[in-house]
Amino acid sequence: MLKGFKSSPVRAASKASEAERWFQALLDAAPDAMVVVDQDGKIVLVNTQTEKLFEYEREEILGLDVEVLMPERLREQHRLDRKGFFAQPHARPMGAGLELFGLRKGGTEFPVEVSLSPVKTKDGVLVTSAIRDVSERKLVEESRLRLAAIVESSDDAVYSKTLDGVIVSWNAGAQQSYGYTQAEAVGKPINILVPPELREEQNKILERLRAGERIEHYETVRVTKAGRRINISLSLSPIKDSTGTMLGICGIARDITERRQAEEALRENEQRLRLATQAGRMYSFEWDVRTGVVVRSPEYVTVLGATEHSRSTHPLFVDKIHPDDRPKFTGTIAELTPDNPTGIVMFRVKTDDGALLWLRSSGRGIFDDQGRLQRVIGMVADVTDLKRAEEALRASEGRLRLAQQTARIGTFERDVRTGRITWAEGLESLYGLPLGGVDGQTLAFFKALIHPADRERVADIIETALKTGQPTEAEWRAVWPDGSVHWIAARWQVLMDDSGEPSRVVGVNMDITERKLAEQSLAEMTRTLIESQEQERSRIGRELHDDINQRLAMLGVELEQPLDPSEFQSRVRRFQDELRQISADVQALSHDLHSTKLEYLGVIAGMKSWCREFAERQKMEVDFKSEVRSALPLDVGRPLFRVLQEALHNSFKHSGVKRIEVKLREDSGEIHLIISDLGRGFDIEAAFQGKGLGLTSMRERVRLVKGTIEIQTRPMGGTTIHIRVPLASEDKEQRAAG
């Protein structure tokens, strides 16, 4: 392919090969894809970038038509263009204004730029094509064009400027807002738009932007080419390059003059309306800020009962204001601005006769072109009666709210004609609803909150109340969104209109869930207590009938048997032993019902004696230990004794062991009773929810002496019951005295 190597054939071949390698290396070093094509359009040489760009190995495309690297739709036209080019070969640079596309091996198209360079060789003309992927550049250009179209079509003024404030770009919206054409504005300082008195403001804005800040919706004033002042909402942000270096500033300004004028007109109308509708004791005033003179209408004397002339000064009036209200009064004046010229303040003044009045002042500030306050005009009204009524109402509402919250009461009102229901604050919580979740709802919505079993009954009561107009009371269950059920007690009154038809219903609801639960709990406890009493009576009856009575009957039978004189002594002794055993069993039974040993022996000795007797009867071991050295009062000892009895009976029945430990000790003004075994254990929750009264009576007995009971148990891990009972102060003193 390359000419000029003609020494010896071997040497020439070597040099030619070296030149080709050198040429190949030169192509591979090129940043673009390089494709060399012969006059037949065959690919004769490619570089590494071509392989990467088109995803072919070079061996795959060498010798193929160059059209393999372009979409199918373009190939026929390219063959014709190629023949024409080879007929008149010439260099063509990149970016020649042609829309060209490449085709990768995988079938994806992408935009390219191609430069052509013909080379004459001994084999004919070869064309070297440099191919560049311009996909990213195309996307950037398209994005830039879209943004430019958006900016140009915007009604807002969009412009950019340098960090020194020189205008660089200017859209049609900016020309419409400010009157300057693009040619007139570009290259000029941004200060051509800024009023003289706001130049310092503009400098501060530039400083903030240079520091990297953004400014959004900043309302200010600008000047048009014609000198007209307009109100604008300004948003500014820095323009940065890819490295984060700030290049300039982009600004968007919206003309809000009409909006501000409308707002100003609205405020003036509202002010005139407020001033016009002032009623009662009031007067007008005008305060000249420069001279301090305040001129008041003649009603000033009527309102304040003053005797001085209606013409006074501002400092004299401020002196009459209550010291606690002066900061609020002067602060309201200080807040007046051209953009916010009106102010309302309530304050107290002291009249000449010493009375304290509440006044409401509504004023409007008048400003000059420089924004300085010149005058304030307005009205002052005596609102003393109103303030007193408001304070009384707030106090009353506060008391009512507190009472309702404490009693969980809520009020409601229903418009019978529209069906709309209004619930006062607090009533929603009685039905588990969020605040405001019922306002505007109808009776159907309310009925859906009622328990299905109560719904029909409540609907009948509501309907009857509408017909009779009589005060009505009812109770029902409400189902909360979480599924829980709560009891509600309600009382309401139907109000009739002039024609005697129901118009409104007003009433209250009260949460009585706790009361209902207490009633249910009391009823359940009463039932369980009665059952327990019956069971105890049955047990005593069985003890007397099945044991004591049977044994006595057996003795009677034996006494009726013929008596052998030789057996007289032995039979009498046997009868005596049996009678003593029956007497002991009857005594033990009576002790279970009412132990007199506590009174005769004392609490500790009585408990120890009962434990010994219980162990003997049940043929088990009860290890009783006491570290209490002085006597316990009966009001403490009796509940502890009953708890001990219940605990030992439960352990004997359910633990499955034959040994129980009982410890009694005194510590820090408390008596501790600890009963433990190593038996089966039990489920505490299931035991408390069961039908028996054992654990419940233990807990209630301990609670009555202000004590606590703690039960630790687990299946096959034993049970420990720990009771703590505090000693009263007088008990402590008596025990300390011995």
- Could you report the per-residue pLDDT of 356-386, keeping only the tens digit for each? 889 989 899 999 989 999 999 988 888 888 8
Confidence of residue 589 (pLDDT cuts 50, 70, 90): low
Same domain, 598 and 723: yes
Edge-to-edge strands, sheet with 109-121: 43-46, 33-37, 124-133, 109-121, 100-103
By mean pLDDT, which of 113-127, 433-447, 586-600 is the weakest?
Answer: 586-600
Domain assignment of residue 397, yes or no? no
Report the domain count for the chain: 6
By mean pLDDT, which of 233-242, 442-451, 574-583, 604-613 is the weakest?
Answer: 574-583
Domain assignment of residue 101, yes or no? yes
Domain assignment of residue 20, yes or no? no
Confidence of residue 17 (pLDDT cuts 50, 70, 90): low
Q: Is the dihedral of CA 561, 563, 567, 570 positive or negative?
A: positive
Per-residue model confidence (pLDDT) at position 11: 47
Same domain, 442 and 484: yes
| Mean pLDDT score, 103-130 | 89
Report the 3 state secondary structure along 79-105. Answer: HHHHHHHHHCCCCECCCCCCCEEEECC
Same domain, 113 and 232: no
Question: Can you tell me the distance from the alpha carbon of 411 to that of 504, in angstroms, rounded to the nearest whole number?
Answer: 13
Place of tokens 């299946």: 715
- For the chain, percent of residues with pLDDT exceeding 90: 19
Partnered with residue 418 across adjacent β-strands are none
| Mean pLDDT score, 602-617 | 88
Confidence of residue 207 (pLDDT cuts 50, 70, 90): confident
Same domain, 249 and 121: no
Domain assignment of residue 576, yes or no? no
Same domain, 429 and 493: yes
Per-residue model confidence (pLDDT) at position 376: 93
State the burial class of residue 239 (Cβ atoms within 10 Å of its Cβ: 0-12, 13-18, 19+): middle
CATH number, residue 332: 3.30.450.20
Confidence of residue 660 (pLDDT cuts 50, 70, 90): very high
Q: Looking at mean pLDDT, say which of 156-165, 200-209, 480-489, 559-568 comes out highest.
A: 480-489
Final residue before a domain boundary, out of 209, 224, 255: 255
Q: What are the structure tokens assigned to 6, written together?
A: 């003609």
| Mean pLDDT score, 587-594 | 58
| Mean pLDDT score, 307-316 | 75
* Structural domain boundaries enclosing 228: 154-255
State the burial class of residue 334 (Cβ atoms within 10 Å of its Cβ: 0-12, 13-18, 19+): exposed
Partnered with residue 311 across adjacent β-strands are 295
Domain assignment of residue 18, yes or no? no
Domain assignment of residue 90, yes or no? yes
Question: Can you tell me the distance from the alpha carbon of 598 to that of 606, in angstroms, rounded to the nearest whole number?
Answer: 5
Q: Looking at mean pLDDT, say which of 253-262, 266-275, 549-558, 665-674 comes out highest.
A: 665-674
Per-residue model confidence (pLDDT) at position 560: 65
Per-residue model confidence (pLDDT) at position 561: 67
Q: Taking 80 as the threshold, does the pLDDT of residue 213 lie above it?
A: yes
Same domain, 531 and 415: no
Same domain, 435 and 472: yes
Same domain, 612 and 477: no
Same domain, 639 and 721: yes
Confidence of residue 737 (pLDDT cuts 50, 70, 90): very low
Domain assignment of residue 69, yes or no? yes
**Mean per-residue pLDDT over the chain, rounded:** 80
Q: Taking 90 as the threshold, does the pLDDT of residue 25 lie above it?
A: no
Whether the Cβ atoms of residue 384 and residue 370 lie closer than 8 Å to each other: no
| Mean pLDDT score, 49-56 | 91
Place of tokens 């014609």: 226
Per-residue model confidence (pLDDT) at position 148: 63
DSSP 419-478: --EEE-TTHHHHTT--TTSSTTB-HHHHHHTB-HHHHHHHHHHHHHHHHH---EEEEEEE
Report the 3 state secondary structure along 181-218. Answer: CHHHHCCCEHHHHCCHHHHHHHHHHHHHHHCCCCEEEE
Q: Taking 80 as the threshold, does the pLDDT of residue 647 lie above it?
A: yes
Same domain, 675 and 640: yes
| Mean pLDDT score, 125-153 | 77
CATH number, residue 680: 3.30.565.10
- For the chain, percent of residues with pLDDT exceeding 70: 79
- Which pTM value belongs to this model? 0.31
Domain assignment of residue 199, yes or no? yes
Question: Can you tell me the distance from the alpha carbon of 15 to that of 8, in angstroms, rounded to the nearest whole number?
Answer: 10
By mean pLDDT, which of 125-129, 263-267, 518-522 is the weakest?
Answer: 518-522
Give residue-wise pLDDT tens across range 248-258.
Answer: 888 888 888 88
Final residue before a domain boundary, out of 255, 284, 305: 255
Residue 568 neighbours by CB distance under 10 Å: 10
- What is the DSSP-derived secondary structure letter of residue 596? T
Query: How far is C-alpha 103 from the chain's CA centre?
Result: 56
Same domain, 251 and 234: yes
| Mean pLDDT score, 150-158 | 73
Same domain, 87 and 110: yes
Whether the Cβ atoms of residue 410 and residue 507 lie closer than 8 Å to each other: no
